[in-house]
Amino acid sequence: MNPTPADPLHVNQSDSAVAPPDFWRDRRSLHPQFCAAVIADARCTMAYRGEGSQFRSRRHAATQCLRLLLVSDAFFAQVCYRAKARMQSLRVPFLPRVAHWLAMTSAQVCIGDPVVIAPGLYLLHGQVVIDGITSIGPNVRIAPFVTIGLRDGDFEGPSISANVDIGTGAKVLGAVQVGKGASIGANAVVLTDVPARTTAIGVPARIHQGPASA
């Protein structure tokens, strides 16, 4: 059965207008402030790249953010997503679509409107799709060709805790919980919850202790 306009979970990227206004107001209120999120993303990105993670001043932080924008398509796409989310929370028309298009064309990063990402995200490269009513915590590392999203008939997406590492080509689908410090191996397909500090590998993914082997 197709969702009706009254269904609060009918919130995909192309038909977001059919969701109740209260849903979007509440969802967008969860987005972090733009500058704070970008600086946290830059700090996380620099730490994973082995470039340090501390800023000496606001000027140093701004300089490093600008440098990352120039050298990393993925970081540029992240900033576009942050701009889109902030402008949507302020009800700015049209420009959020431009920001989304820039993220898509620069690094093939597609992050849907209902997605909420805490400050501190590291995208190794582009080619990432995140959609649905999905939440991602701080200090999460996402490799290329990752899909985080929905299963058929359910618009509730994953909830990913802090310090999670998601390997290349992995898929995390449906209303699953990924615990703090968990790892998801390359090409794993996660359809069930992943406890904290464990590793999910395989298709479908199975839970193991210790770091991912791929």
pLDDT of residue 50: 87
In a domain, 82, yes or no: yes
pLDDT reported for residue 212: 53
How many structural domains compose the chain? 1
Rounded Cα distance between 100 and 167, Å, is 24
pLDDT at 11: 43
CATH number at residue 204: 2.160.10.10
Q: At what angle do helices 73-89 and 34-48 cross, to 10 degrees?
A: 160
Predicted confidence band at 114 (pLDDT cuts at 50, 70, 90)? very high
% of the chain at pLDDT higher than 90 = 72
Tell me which residue of 35, 27, 31 sits closest to 8, measured CA to CA: 27
Distance CA 115, CA 182 (A): 20
Q: Is the pLDDT of residue 104 over 80?
A: yes
DSSP state of 147: E
Please report whether residue 1 resides in a domain: no
Question: Which pTM was predicted?
Answer: 0.84
SS3 content of the chain, % helix, strand, coil (to 5): 35, 25, 45
Q: Which domain holds residue 121?
A: 13-209
Question: What pLDDT score was predicted for residue 211?
Answer: 57
Higher pLDDT among residues 12 and 52, named by residue: 52
The verdict on residue 27 lying in a domain is: yes
Question: pLDDT grade, residue 24 (50/70/90)?
Answer: confident
**4 within some domain:** no
CA torsion, ordered 203, 208, 210, 214, to nearest 10 deg: -10
User: Residue 98 above 80 pLDDT?
Assistant: yes
